[in-house]
Amino acid sequence: MEKLKVAVISCGMIANKAHIPSYKHYSDLCEVVAVCDLNKDAAEQTAKRWDIPHWYTDTEEMLAKERPDLVSVCVPNGLHKQMTMLAFSYGCHVACEKPIALNYNDAREMFDEADRLGKTLLACQVLRYNPEYMFAREMYDTGVLGDVYYSEFSLIRRRGVPKWGAFHKKSASGGGALCDLGVHMIDAGIWVMGSPKVKSVSGMTSSYLARNEKDIVMSLAESGAPAGVFTRQVYKPEEFEVEEFASGCLRFENGGSMNFKTSWAVNLPPEYSMRLAGTKAGILLPEMKLLGTMGRYQADIEPRTFPAEAPFASEPFPGHYQLLENAMAHIQKGEDLLIKPEQTLQITAIIEAFYKSAEEGREVELSEIIK
Ligand SMILES: NC(=O)c1ccc[n+]([C@@H]2O[C@H](COP(=O)([O-])OP(=O)(O)OC[C@H]3O[C@@H](n4cnc5c(N)ncnc54)[C@H](O)[C@@H]3O)[C@@H](O)[C@H]2O)c1
């Protein structure tokens, strides 16, 4: 089978720590032919670091000259649609960072264009690949959980505002903690619940701390760059214009619900948990603990796990390896995608409904968004 020619649009943190190393790992399936970034140094250094033959500062020039088969779109959220559509116009398949779009209509147009051209568009909702979520979904698929009718998650950073790039700017990122962290948990949680359809969304956002605290000490790892960044910027708190804390509730058409909170900055302890309640058992993540019954007794089950077997466990972004392998196997051999277009579309509708709900102070029906 011929190797796929891959190009990466942007040379920031996620390109260097997740996408490029993943493609390099699968050098039998693909070759990274070029990278580009508006920032010349980032493009040049990335090409040198990873031994990539060509680098560019102009995306269109790269696509026209290199004619890649597959493109990773790793620019800030506000540019995802523009870069994806550009890549489609040059006949490429696209793996786009999350959230692929900030509203449903943009995402719909992206998938419609992919369909029209017979190309793949895959959103990098990588949390599903974490071993605990794979385990939870297996427990759902094999009937151990029964029908899952309730879930709740907390992904709380006490002080973890990303201090590189443009995460704190609305024009670049669309939103804050919900777009950065919440979308991963919402996607993975709904998947473990059996991918039910969302009926309505209630959302609340706040920003009291990040705008004022310029001297709070925190590590890059705390703010989501576990292996560091190459392009750290001087961060100006007064430029902070997205939510630092988001909480909300989803109602599903099957009667189930999901409650959540997520933050970059809040005066609460750090927390990473997902809990799901099914008719036969509940499950706590990331512990992978099942809460059920045995005969007359309430029983907690802690399966034996083998962390050494978790694929790419020592990498900062292990899920990207598996997701991009799935993308390539789909393109080359027609393998099913784990992350389905309709599931990604629903996530973008949830994001849009969440911010509408926060702004208007009411529960928003998904039928108001998906017309
Ligand atoms: N899936 C995950 O786990 C995960 C984790 C972190 C970030 N992300 C996503 O990855 C994306 C980028 O995040 P990051 O942390 O790499 O940010 P970053 O700021 O490190 O990188 C963004 C890069 O885009 C470049 N850029 C901006 N406009 C451009 C243009 N028009 N053409 C070419 N390059 C341009 C910037 O110069 C910068 O180098 C975001 O959408 C974010 O949500 C996903």
- Asked if residue 177 and residue 273 are part of one domain, the reply reads yes
CA of 237 to the centre of ligand 1 (A): 20
What's the pLDDT at 249?
A: 98
Q: Is 300 domain-assigned?
A: yes
Provide the 10 A C-beta neighbour count for residue 273. Answer: 14
pLDDT in tens, 247-282: 999 999 999 999 999 999 999 999 999 999 999 999
Domain co-membership, 182 together with 298 = yes
Domain of residue 91: give its range. Answer: 4-123+318-338
State how many domains the chain has.
Answer: 2
Residue 313 located in a structural domain:
no
pTM higher than 0.95, yes or no?
A: yes
The answer to whether residues 285 and 303 touch, using CB atoms and an 8 Å cutoff, is no
Residue 63's domain is classified under what CATH number? 3.40.50.720
* Same domain flag for 196 and 146: yes
Asked if 94 and 160 sit in the same domain, the reply is: no
Q: Residue 162 is which amino acid?
A: P
Contact by Cβ (8 Å): 38, 63: no
- 284's tokens: 């706590």
Please indicate, yes or no, whether residues 229 and 113 belong to a single structural domain of this protein.
Answer: no
Residues 85 and 184 in one domain: no
Specify the DSSP class assigned to residue 258: E
Q: Please tell me the distance from the alpha carbon of residue 62 to that of residue 66, in angstroms, as a whole number.
A: 6
136 and 265 housed in the same domain: yes
Same domain, 228 and 110: no
CA-162 nearest atom, ligand 1? 15
CA 13 / ligand 1 centre spacing (Å): 7
Query: Rounded to whole angstroms, how far apart are CA atoms 5 and 7?
Result: 7
Mutate to test the pocket of ligand 1, among 14, 38, 79 (most ligand atoms within 8 A of CB): 14
Q: Is the CB of 231 under 6 A from ligand 1?
A: yes
Q: Is 218 found in the same domain as 261?
A: yes
How many Cα atoms are found within 13 Å in the side-chain-facing hemisphere of 164?
Answer: 19
Count of positions (residues) in the chain: 371
The type of residue at 128 is R
Burial of 290 (0-12, 13-18, 19+ CB in 10 A): buried
Model pLDDT, residue 293: 96
The predicted structure's pLDDT at residue 281:
98
Beta 4-9 vs 30-36: how paired, if at all?
parallel
Total Cβ atoms within 10 A of residue 324: 26
**Among all chains, which residue has been given the structure tokens 């605990």?**
132
- Show pLDDT as tens, one digit a residue, over the chain (371 residues): 899 999 999 999 999 999 999 999 999 999 999 999 999 999 999 999 999 999 999 999 999 999 999 999 999 999 999 999 999 999 999 999 999 999 999 999 999 999 999 999 999 999 999 999 999 999 999 999 999 999 999 999 999 998 888 888 999 999 999 999 999 999 999 999 999 999 999 999 999 999 888 777 777 888 888 888 877 776 688 889 999 999 999 999 999 999 999 999 999 999 999 999 999 999 999 999 999 999 999 999 998 877 667 889 889 999 999 999 999 999 999 999 999 999 999 999 999 999 999 999 999 999 999 99
11 lines ligand 1 (CB under 6 A): yes
Distance, CA of 245 to CA of 156 (rounded, Å): 9
**Residue 153, domain CATH:** 3.30.360.10
**Does residue 350 line the site of ligand 1, with CB under 6 A?**
no
Residue 310 lies in a domain: no
Q: Verify that 173 and 109 share a domain, yes or no.
A: no
Would you state the pLDDT for residue 308?
67
In a domain, 34, yes or no: yes
Let me know: does 13 contact 231? Beta carbons within 8 Å: yes
Is there a domain that residue 85 lies in?
Answer: yes
